[in-house]
Amino acid sequence: MRERIGQRPFELIALGVAATIATHASHLPLWLTFGAAGAISMRAWLRRRSAKPVPAWLRLPAAALLLFAVIEQFGTVFGREPGSVLGCGLLALKLLETEHARDARVAVGFAGFVLMSALLFEQSLAFTLGVSLILIVLLAALVALQPAPIETARPLRAELRLATRLLAAALPFAVLAFLLIPRLGSPLWGAPGRDMEARTGLSERMQPGAIGELLLDDTPAMRVSFDGVPPPPSQRYFRAIVLWDFDGATWTRERRDGFLRPESAQAAGAPLNYTITLEPTDRRWLPALDMPLAAPGGAHFGADRVLIADDLISQPREYRMRSATVYKLAPELTAKERERALALPDGFDPRSRAMALRWRNANDESGVIRSALDLFHASFTYSLDVPPLARDSVDDFLFSTRKGFCEHYASAFVVLMRAAGIPARVVTGYQGGWWNDSSGYLLVRNSDAHAWAEVWREGRGWVRVDPTAAVSPARIELGAAAANDASAWSQSVWLRALRNEFDFANGLWTRTIIRFDALRQKSMLTPFGVDSANQGDLLLAFSIALGVFLLAATLWAMRDVARTSDDALDLAWTRFARRLADAGVARKPGEGPLDFLSRARRALPASANALGELVQNYVALRYGAIEPAPERVRAFTRAVRNFRVSTRVS
């Protein structure tokens, strides 16, 4: 009959399984999150009470129900998201039957596979370090499953220490495989599923108030390196999406822009050259400093001068840009373009329209724009804590709530301009960022997401107007952190500064690890005379490097067998013999303990009693009829550690 595994190995496996599933929490459905947590907790509770594993007649229907639920929700089991959901569910079910060593090893192996699949969704430095810690727990579970040579149970710290060493020993091989195993030109996980949901929150739809959660998201959106001096904060507008159409509640970018001509941009000042490293968004929008003059490779301009990538941005993307912060955009407007830029839904926001008409009757276009900005400056507040708006959202905002953030002000401003007969549209993207002096790049976070307006002026074209600047100049000059609520500990100044400084490591990780693609791999062997390495060259280099690594590892392991022995008693005896050798009494090859004791007593009479006690104790432990108790072995080890050669006769 197979023997049950001990309680500690089981608890380590349960902890590793729970932590592995937690790495997928961001994309797991709630029913699986709570179901897996309940199953793991129940199994751990039953195991502590020595109950039997969950029977197969319960596990099999649960597995079938899991498969049905995944297909029902995703329509398939293929792809990153449905595949990971199915894997996490099966891993939780596997723990329900884990009772013996074979099942335990299968559970650990499966957990390792599911754990590595989490890196398909998130590859930041902090996340990778977290995955490594969980991997140490899984390796410690494997160590705990192995019987100890003398002790009936190793200390937990010893198991974790050995697991860490095993992971460290595998690291050189992992580095070789990462660098030299030929990699695919496109991701392996490009299978169907719900994998194309955006990550940044910027989209073709903007409803005032919907971007609030994004403004509290401090994860990096992109990093920008300038060839020269970076522009001042007031000019750090990164254009991403232009929204034309308003239905009374939501701004959208409808796919009916065929009549729009490509808008031309002319630089009126010295252009800026810079490089953007964009984090994955699973969308095609490429933010660029307002105003981009040319599209990078693999991208094109939309009709309204936004950059659109040819493929979804599912991996960090680096692209070179050239932009002008002083420019003239689309100095002419056709009748259809003007009609679209003035369109407002019927029956919405009557008070706002009436106020805009009064402004227009008393002022020219510049006066209308100034009246709107003066209104915001005089009696409005920038805040992320805003109530939901009524059906007439602009009326409710302008005449009732009078507080909001960038989306509210951009939306209300464009409605007022259109009601006054001034063509206008909403632009979303990013504004500001944190300049890293030591590394020389601008860090733009998702919390720097911003919305502003563009109005069309005769002879000048589309002109940027940011109504948020009239309400909260600090938002533009000092960034999102200065305007957003910093009372929470997560938004404190010291913590943001620490995250900003740590981002240098994140940026280095992205450049050297995440963006190490097939093209960079092919150029790795250039110093060795191979201009563009093919698969054969890479595999040959990998084989040579692996051979050198294995030879070095073998020589290191053979350098001193005694030092790598798992026998605690032998290790203590070896330490004792080495200490006597340092005192001038070296043990001869093949010399028994008692003969060694006899010579040592003659050479070191001052330590004769201590030597006799230690050697006799060792002989009893090593050559006794029964296996020594772990407590006696540990006592002998402590005695050897405390032994000192005496030069004075007592």
Residues taking part in catalysis: 406, 450, 466
SS3 264: coil
The token pair at 390 is: 């009524």
CA distance 482 to 344: 34
Hey, is 166 helix, strand or coil? helix
CA–CA gap between residue 344 and residue 397 (Å, rounded): 17
Phi and psi, residue 308, nearest 5°: -125, 120
Residue 230 three-state SS: coil
Helix ranges (DSSP H) in 4-120: 7-22, 30-48, 56-74, 80-97, 101-117
When computed from its CA atoms, the radius of gyration of the chain, rounded to whole angstroms, is 34
In angstroms, the CA 195 to CA 281 distance is 11
Pairwise CA distance, residues 407 & 207, whole Å: 8
The H or E element that residue 623 is part of is helix 608-623
Please report the beta strands in 108-236, taking only residues with DSSP state E, as ranges in sequence order: 205-206, 220-226
Are 93 and 40 contacting, i.e. CB atoms less than 8 angstroms apart? no
Q: Which two structure tokens, joined as six digits, stand for 352?
A: 């706002």
Determine contact, residues 633/150, Cβ cutoff 8 Å: yes
Place of tokens 């056709």: 334
CA 291, CA 305: separation in Å to the nearest integer? 8
Structure tokens at 260: 């729009």
